Amino acid sequence: MTGCSPTMALKPMFDPSTKSAPRLLRLSLTAIGWIFAAGIIAVAVILFYSRHQYLIAMDIGGPNAINESAYVQIGGIEQWVQIRGQNRNNPILLWLNGGPGFSTIGQTLSFRGWEEDFTLVMWDQRGEGKTFKRHGEAIADTMTVDRMASDGIELTEYLLSHLNQNRLIVMGHSWGSMLAVRMVQRRPDLFAAYVGTGQVVHIGRSVELGYSMALERAQALGALNAVAELAALGPPPYADRAQGFATIRWANELDPSVEDRPQPFSWPFVWALIRQAADGSFWDGVNFSQRLLMDAVLNEDIAAQGSVFDVPVVILHGSGDMVTPLILAKEYFEKMEAPAKVFTVLDGQGHLALLKSPDRFLTKLKQSLSEAGVRP
C-alpha cells in the first residue's frame, strides 16, 4: 500500500497561486463571451430574416392594388384603419372583429387570400389596438355600443367616398355582429349585404346553452382544469358577471374549429407574432374594452333590435359553436325578413372558425354571398 509523505502538502486541483488558474478563467470567460455574442447574432439574423420574409409575404403588387394604414377621424377621435386589396375596385368587405377589444390587424397575414376577392378593411375600434394606443383611457365615457355603431356608420361613409363605391359588405363576428346589425338597420342604404358569424342573439340564453356544451366537451377532452372550474361554477343563471364571462372564456378555449392558418413556425408568421407581442397596446385595449363593455355584451338581446333587414343577409355559423350556439342563430335567422337570406352551417367548426380556418371560411363566404345574389 502506497501513501504520501506526512510532510508533503496536498495542493488543490486549481491552485490560485499558480499561473494556470487565471489563464483558465480568462479562457472560460472568453468562451462565454463568444457564445453570448453568437447568440445575439443568431437572434438578430432570425429577426432580420423573419421580418424580410414577412414583408415579402405581405407585399401587394399591381397597378390597381391598395395598401393603406392610417388614423382616420371617426366619431370625434382618430381611429386606426387598414385597407388592403389586389384591386381597389373589388367589393369592399368591412370586418368588425369580435371581442370587444380584440384587434385582428395583427392577423392580416392569415387573410392574404381574402385580398384577391375583396378590398378588406380592418378597423381598430374605439378602445382597441392602435386606437387605444393613441387615446388611452381618456375616451372611457364614450365606450358604448350605440356610439361604436355610429362610428361604424361614419367609417362606412368614409370608405365609400374614399374608394368611390356606392355600398359595401359588412361582416360582424361575435361582438362585431352586435355593431353590424345596428349599423345595417340604421343605414341600409350604405350596405350591399350583412354577413354574420358567431352571430350574437341573446347572451343570457347563449351562456345557459353553452355551459353544458363546454362542460361536456371538457370532459370528453380530459381538460381537467376546465371541468373543475365549470363544475365549481355550476349551471347558470349567474348573479356575478365574472361567472358568465368564465363560461364564455372556456367555450372559446375549447373551441373545436379546425386550424388551417399559416404554419406557426413559418418565417413570416414568426415576425407577425413578434410584432403583436411587442405591441403592449393590444392587451391593454382588450382589458380596457372588456371592463367597460362586458356588461352590455352579457345583457345583449339582439332580437330586440328588430328582425327586418333591407339588405341581403348571410349567416355562417359553426355547428360546434359554444359561445353563440347554433340553435339560437338559426332561430333568429328564421325570424329575419330580408330581400334574400342564406344560412350556412360550418360543419365541425366552432365560434372561432373565421380566425382558425380563414381559407375554408372564405370559400363558404363567397358561395353564400353568390346564393344571396351578392357579387362575391
DSSP states of 41-55: HHHHHHHHHHHHHHH
pLDDT digits (tens, 9 = 90+) for 343-367: 999 999 999 999 999 999 999 999 9
What are 264's strand-pairing partners?
A: none
Handedness of CA 74, 75, 77, 81 (dihedral sign): negative
Q: Give the range of the structural domain holding residue 326, as residue numbers without chain letter.
A: 58-202+258-371
Q: Map grid coordinates 508533503 to a residue.
A: 8
Whether residue 95 is contained in a domain is answered as yes
46 pLDDT band, cuts 50/70/90, is low
Q: Which of 165, 199, 159 is nearest to 179 (CA)?
A: 199
Q: Which of 331, 334, 339 is nearest to 313 (CA)?
A: 339
42 pLDDT band, cuts 50/70/90, is confident
Q: Are strands 341-346 and 313-318 parallel, antiparallel or unpaired?
A: parallel
What span, in angstroms and rounded, lies between the C-alpha atoms of 43 and 178? 43
pLDDT of residue 2: 46
Domains contained in the chain, number: 1
H/E element, 196: strand 191-197
Whether residue 306 is contained in a domain is answered as yes
> Radius of gyration (Cα) for the chain, nearest Å?
27
Average pLDDT in the 277-303 region?
A: 85
The x, y and z cell numbers of residue 358, run together, are 380563414
pLDDT digits (tens, 9 = 90+) for 205-255: 999 999 999 999 999 999 999 999 999 999 998 888 888 888 999 999 999
Q: Based on the number of CB atoms within 10 Å of its own CB, is 23 exposed (0-12), middle (13-18) or buried (19 or more)?
A: exposed
14 pLDDT band, cuts 50/70/90, is very low
Whether residue 104 is contained in a domain is answered as yes
Q: Where residue 153 sits, what CATH number does that domain have?
A: 3.40.50.1820
Whether residue 324 is contained in a domain is answered as yes
41 pLDDT band, cuts 50/70/90, is confident
Q: Map grid coordinates 325570424 to a residue.
A: 335
Average pLDDT in the 166-179 region?
A: 97
pLDDT of residue 355: 93
Average pLDDT in the 291-304 region?
A: 90
pLDDT digits (tens, 9 = 90+) for 116-143: 999 999 999 999 999 999 999 999 999 9
Whether residue 22 is contained in a domain is answered as no
Residues of the chain with pLDDT > 90, as a percent, come to 67
φ, ψ of residue 237 to 5 degrees: the values are -80, 160
Give the HSE-up count for residue 131: Cα atoms under 13 Å, Cβ half-sphere. 31
Whether residue 25 is contained in a domain is answered as no
pLDDT of residue 366: 97
* pTM for the full predicted model: 0.84
Whether residue 47 is contained in a domain is answered as no
pLDDT digits (tens, 9 = 90+) for 81-111: 999 999 999 999 999 999 899 999 988 988 9
Across the chain, what does the average pLDDT equal?
A: 87
Residue 271 pLDDT > 60, yes or no?
no
Sheet containing strand 66-74, strands side by side = 66-74, 77-85, 119-123, 92-96, 168-173, 191-197, 313-318, 341-346
What span, in angstroms and rounded, lies between the C-alpha atoms of 336 and 181? 12
Average pLDDT in the 281-291 region?
A: 89
- Alpha helix ranges (H) inside the chain: 20-58, 129-135, 145-162, 175-186, 203-221, 224-233, 241-253, 267-278, 281-298, 326-335, 353-356, 358-371
Residue 21 pLDDT > 70, yes or no?
no
